[in-house]
């Protein structure tokens, strides 16, 4: 320890008061304590150990943790050291004889990393258009397999299979699996393509031999076509189908078997064997599962869900899909309303054996399969997440959220990785919105790939981008997406603001049985209904919030609404919107006449009205600190 009593005594003499029992000042005590701790942390770590540990790969490190204890780690490290030493000798010999290359141990960079941090557009212009496509990062290349119906050739399916090399930024054609509607999954050392066969434009509703699969070892190997997949006829009751836009979301690799929840089949890529996923009795009652996705936790496959019914439950399977069981539903608050609203508004991923469900709001709930317990985090008071997003979950546990709302500069995706939010930059290429996409991890990078939505007004056609993590801290000081409120401006309140209900609001959007929840629909609002200027938003907004109303503006971009907006001069970060019964994004469920909730996020402020007059107004300021706070909460799950 480097603490010297005399120094401490001097410090005490200069202090207002001393510690007890002749102890030095508290700050010095802390340093002495830390000295003791550090002394016990062992000898310095060297670069060799770091490089060796890196070379072992994360799986080895995880296994080591699971086994526990440092002794086995030392054994493994020693073994690795011996191996490296032996191999190094081999290399030197090989170099001496110029006998060519041998296997790689580790490299600090690979793939897209060399492109530098941030978003980069991947040029797809040399690729033929594909109506559907799937991507995978396999053996250092971005593999794309897709295709489209070739109308000029009597409706034949035209398959496309390409590989992209980040090093040269070039595409090259590769052999395809000979299937249509392919979804790719990396399963161990093989690339698996699950698709269909014999789609004909002449029989648009007829798809024969629906489920086929093939495996590929890469390189010069040919695709190995496996037998026709057996189908579990009841699997369709769960919702997703083999022609889902991203069928890959329902393909779960457990390390040994590949569970296809669109066909109900268990695939073993190594042997080509197949089986059926066991389904629960009365599978029809689980149709609400389709709004989320199944995920592998490391020990079992969990498909969390909460449907319209408050007692709806989720399901779980063993790694080979033979055992099925139920899990309790997530806590009702937040999740129920969102998980009943569509899979593009929720993402499911696995973290440290837990299952995390994230929905807009944001609402985050974490399930621990070991004790069937849920933990929920209501982040709505901390982070005004995009009111709608499309999510992709990679094998590495990343989550990319591309908001449907664009900032003035463009779309700014959020990425959650390793317990931290990454507020990324504006997507390149002028992309205004990417709502139909798939994403996959590519080494340490993340690729998003747009799928055709059928509406060029909604999505950029043939868009692809790769995000390379920044070396610097996560959320940049210049928070994007209009999330730049200072902490002093943040608040959350449910205090009545004395608002008057606009004329006709309580009736324009109500349809169906008033006793049943009914989703709000676009186009049901009466845009001619009189809107009233918000007379008083309380003390929270600037006094000059008096610009407006401006009919026809506000709400989500590209969505016609009759929202009115008010702004505070030239401060775009302070907006309030008022929309009469309109289902802009954030519109929730109707309970019965006069009892409804809707919300919108406008430039960082969330304004939520609920109930009858006077409306309660919830205003959410959004700050970087709040984002970080939520991220920390996630990290503790």
- Those residues whose C-beta lies under 8 Å from the C-beta of residue 295, and which sit 6 or more positions away, are 252, 301, 302, 303, 348, 349, 350, 355, 393
Shortest distance (Å) from residue 365 CB to other proteins? 18
The residue (of 79 and 593) whose beta carbon lies closer to other proteins is 79
With beta carbons less than 8 A apart as the criterion, state whether 23 and 12 touch. no
Cβ(614)–Cβ(496) under 8 Å? yes
Contacts of 4 (CB under 8 A, 6+ apart): none
Spatial separation of the C-alpha atoms in residues 502 and 564, rounded to whole Å: 12
- Contact status: 30 vs other proteins (CB under 8 A): yes
Which residue is it, tokens 């439950």?
313
**Contact between 25 and other proteins (CB under 8 A)?**
yes
Q: Per the structure block, which two tokens stand in for 327?
A: 């899990």
Report in angstroms how near the CB of residue 59 gets to other proteins at its nearest: 13
x/- track of binding to other proteins for residues 473-512 (CB under 8 A): xxx-----------x-------------------------
Quote the strand ranges of 548-604, DSSP E: 564-568, 571-578, 589-592, 595-602
Closer residue to other proteins (CB): 256 or 352: 352
Q: Which residues in 131-170 contact other proteins (CB under 8 A)?
A: none
Helix 70-97 / helix 47-67 crossing angle, nearest 10 deg: 130
Please tell me whether residue 393 binds other proteins under the rule CB under 8 A.
no
Q: Closest approach of Cβ 629 to other proteins, in Å? A: 10
Please identify, among the stretches 2-10, 163-171, 178-186, 505-513, the one whose residues bind other proteins according to the rule CB under 8 A: 2-10
| Of residues 443 and 572, the one with the C-beta less far from other proteins | 443
Residues 247-266 as x/- pattern, contact with other proteins by CB under 8 A: --------------------
Q: Quick one: 41 or 515, whose CB is closer to other proteins? A: 41
**Residue nearer to other proteins on the CB measure, 108 or 535:** 108
Q: Which helix (H) or strand (E) holds 133?
A: strand 132-138
Separation between Cα atoms, residue 237 and residue 290, nearest integer Å? 9
83 vs 516, which CB is nearer to other proteins?
A: 83
Strands, DSSP E only, in 381-525?
389-393, 399-403, 414-417, 420-423, 437-442, 445-450, 464-468, 496-499, 518-519
Indicate the length of the chain as a whole number. 637
Binding to other proteins, residues 63-82 (CB under 8 A): 65, 70
Count of beta carbons in the 10 Å neighbourhood of residue 414: 24
Residue 18 touches other proteins, criterion: CB under 8 A = yes
Among positions 50, 78, 461, 522, the unique one binding other proteins when judged by CB under 8 A: 50
**Would you list the DSSP string of 62-87?**
HHHHHH--HHHHHHHHHHHHHHHHHH
In the bound complex, what is the minimum distance in angstroms from residue 164's beta carbon to other proteins? 21
CB-nearer residue toward other proteins: 28 or 582? 28
To other proteins, the closest distance from the beta carbon of 466 in angstroms equals 15
Cα 363 to Cα 99, 106, 310, 633, 634: the distances in Å are 58, 39, 17, 12, 11
Cα 163 to Cα 94, 96, 133, 166, 627: the distances in Å are: 31, 35, 13, 10, 37
Residues with Cβ within 8 Å of residue 577, at least 6 apart in sequence:
554, 555, 563, 564, 565, 566, 600, 602, 607
Pairing state between β 314-317 and 605-610: unpaired
Q: Which stretch binds other proteins (CB under 8 A): 30-38, 147-155, 249-257, 518-526?
A: 30-38
Min dist CB 166 to other proteins, Å, is 14
Distances (CA, A) of 361 to 333, 393, 555, 598: 11, 18, 16, 12
The CA-based dihedral angle spanning residues 213, 215, 221, 224, taken in that order and rounded to the nearest 10 degrees: -50
List binders of other proteins among 299-358 (CB under 8 A): 351-352
For the CB of residue 631, give the shortest distance to other proteins in the complex, in Å.
Answer: 9
Q: Which C-beta is closer to other proteins: that of 60 or that of 174?
A: 60
Q: Report the nearest approach of other proteins to the CB of residue 238 (Å).
A: 31
Instruction: List binders of other proteins among 573-632 (CB under 8 A).
Output: 625, 628
Task: Single out the residue of 6, 13, 46, 408 in contact with other proteins (rule: CB under 8 A).
Answer: 46
Q: If binding is defined by CB under 8 A, does position 530 make contact with other proteins?
A: no
> Could you tell me how many residues of this chain bind other proteins (CB under 8 A)?
78
Residues with Cβ < 8 Å from 228, sequence gap 6 or more? 209, 211, 212
Q: Is 471 in the site for other proteins (CB under 8 A)?
A: yes
Query: According to CB under 8 A, which residues from 426 to 465 bind other proteins?
Result: 444
Question: What part of residues 81-120 is at the interface with other proteins (CB under 8 A)?
Answer: 87-88, 91-92, 95, 101-109, 113-114, 117
Q: Is 268 or 491 the residue whose CB approaches other proteins more closely? A: 491
Q: Which is nearer to other proteins, 65 or 592 (CB)?
A: 65
Among 7-15, 425-433, 534-542, 609-617, the segment contacting other proteins (CB under 8 A): 7-15
> Smallest gap, in angstroms, from Cβ of residue 261 to other proteins?
27
Least spacing, CB of residue 386 vs other proteins, in Å: 21
Angle between helices 26-39 and 5-14 (to 10 degrees): 160
17 near other proteins (CB under 8 A) = yes
Q: Which helix (H) or strand (E) holds 96?
A: helix 70-97
Q: Rounded to 5 degrees, what are φ and ψ at 213?
A: -150, 160
Beta partners for residue 464, in sequence order: 449
Minimum distance from CB of 481 to other proteins (Å)? Answer: 17
Contact assessment for residue 312 and residue 329, using Cβ atoms and an 8 Å cutoff: yes
Can residue 219 be called a binding residue for other proteins (CB under 8 A)?
no
Smallest distance from other proteins to CB 16, Å: 6
Locate tokens 């249509």: which residue?
180
Q: Which is nearer to other proteins, 98 or 457 (CB)?
A: 98
Candidates 6, 41, 125, 205; binder of other proteins (CB under 8 A) is: 41
**Minimum CB separation from other proteins for residue 468, in Å?**
9
Is 21 among the residues that bind other proteins (CB under 8 A)?
yes
Using CB under 8 A, which residues numbered 176 to 215 contact other proteins?
none
Closest approach, Cβ 102 to other proteins, in A, equals: 5
Rounded to a whole number of angstroms, the minimum distance from the CB of residue 371 to other proteins is 15
| Rounded Cα–Cα distance for residues 608 and 48 (Å) | 56
Contact (Cβ atoms closer than 8 angstroms) between residue 416 and residue 397: no
Does 13 engage in binding with other proteins (CB under 8 A)? no
């Amino acid at each position: 320890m480097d603490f010297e009593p005399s120094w401490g005594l001097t410090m005490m003499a200069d202090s207002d008061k001393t510690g007890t029992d002749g102890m030095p000042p508290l700050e010095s005590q802390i340093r002495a304590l830390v000295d003791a701790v550090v002394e016990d942390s062992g000898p310095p770590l060297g670069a060799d150990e770091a490089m060796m540990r890196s070379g072992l790969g994360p799986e080895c490190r995880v296994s080591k943790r699971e086994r526990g204890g440092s002794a086995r780690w030392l054994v493994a490290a020693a073994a690795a050291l011996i191996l490296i030493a032996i191999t190094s000798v081999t290399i030197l010999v090989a170099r001496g004889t110029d006998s060519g290359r041998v296997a790689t141990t580790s490299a600090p960079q690979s793939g897209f990393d060399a492109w530098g941090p941030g978003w980069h557009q991947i040029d797809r212009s040399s690729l033929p258009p594909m109506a559907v496509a799937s991507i995978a990062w396999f053996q250092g290349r971005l593999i794309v397999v897709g295709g489209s119906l070739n109308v000029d050739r009597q409706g034949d399916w035209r398959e496309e299979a390409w590989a992209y090399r980040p090093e040269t930024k070039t595409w090259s054609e590769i052999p395809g699996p000979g299937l249509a509607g392919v979804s790719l999954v990396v399963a161990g050392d093989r690339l698996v393509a699950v698709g269909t066969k014999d789609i004909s434009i002449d029989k648009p509703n007829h798809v024969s031999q629906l489920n086929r699969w093939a495996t590929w070892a890469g390189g010069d190997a040919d695709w190995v076509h496996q037998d026709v997949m057996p189908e579990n006829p009841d699997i369709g009751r769960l919702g997703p189908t083999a022609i889902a836009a991203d069928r890959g979301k329902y393909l779960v690799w457990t390390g040994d078997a590949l569970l296809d929840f669109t066909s109900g089949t268990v695939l073993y890529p190594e042997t080509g064997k197949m089986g059926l996923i066991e389904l629960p009795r009365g599978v029809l009652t689980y149709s609400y599962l389709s709004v989320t996705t199944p995920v592998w936790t490391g020990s079992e496959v969990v498909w969390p869900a909460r449907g319209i019914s408050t007692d709806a439950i989720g399901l779980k399977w063993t790694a080979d899909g033979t055992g099925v069981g139920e899990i309790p539903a997530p806590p009702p608050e937040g999740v129920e309303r969102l998980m009943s609203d569509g899979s593009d508004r929720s993402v499911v991923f696995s973290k440290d054996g837990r299952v995390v469900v994230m929905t807009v709001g944001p609402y985050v709930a974490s399930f621990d399969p070991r004790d069937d317990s849920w933990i929920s985090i209501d982040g709505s008071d901390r982070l005004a997440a995009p009111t709608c997003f499309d999510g992709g979950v990679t094998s590495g546990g990343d989550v990319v959220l591309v908001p449907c709302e664009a900032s003035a500069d463009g779309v700014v995706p959020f990425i959650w990785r390793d317990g931290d939010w990454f507020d990324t930059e504006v997507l390149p290429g002028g992309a205004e919105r990417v709502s139909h996409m798939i994403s996959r991890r590519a080494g340490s990078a993340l690729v998003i790939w747009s799928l055709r939505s059928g509406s060029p007004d909604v999505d950029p056609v043939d868009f692809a981008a790769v995000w390379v993590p920044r070396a610097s801290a996560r959320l940049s000081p210049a928070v994007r997406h209009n999330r730049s409120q200072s902490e002093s401006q943040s608040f959350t309140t449910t205090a009545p603001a004395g608002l008057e209900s606009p004329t006709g609001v309580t009736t324009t959007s109500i349809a169906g049985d008033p006793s049943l929840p009914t989703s709000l629909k676009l186009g049901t609002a009466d845009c001619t209904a009189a809107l009233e200027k918000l007379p008083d938003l309380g003390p929270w907004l600037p006094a000059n919030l008096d610009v407006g109303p401006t009919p026809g503006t506000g709400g989500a971009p590209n969505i016609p609404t009759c929202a009115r907006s008010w702004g505070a001069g030239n401060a775009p970060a302070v907006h309030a919107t008022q929309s009469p019964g309109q289902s802009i994004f954030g519109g929730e469920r109707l309970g019965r006449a006069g009892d409804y909730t809707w919300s919108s996020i406008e430039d960082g402020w969330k304004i939520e009205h609920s109930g009858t007059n006077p409306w309660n107004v919830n205003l959410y300021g959004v700050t970087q600190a709040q984002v970080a706070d939520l991220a920390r909460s996630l990290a503790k799950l």
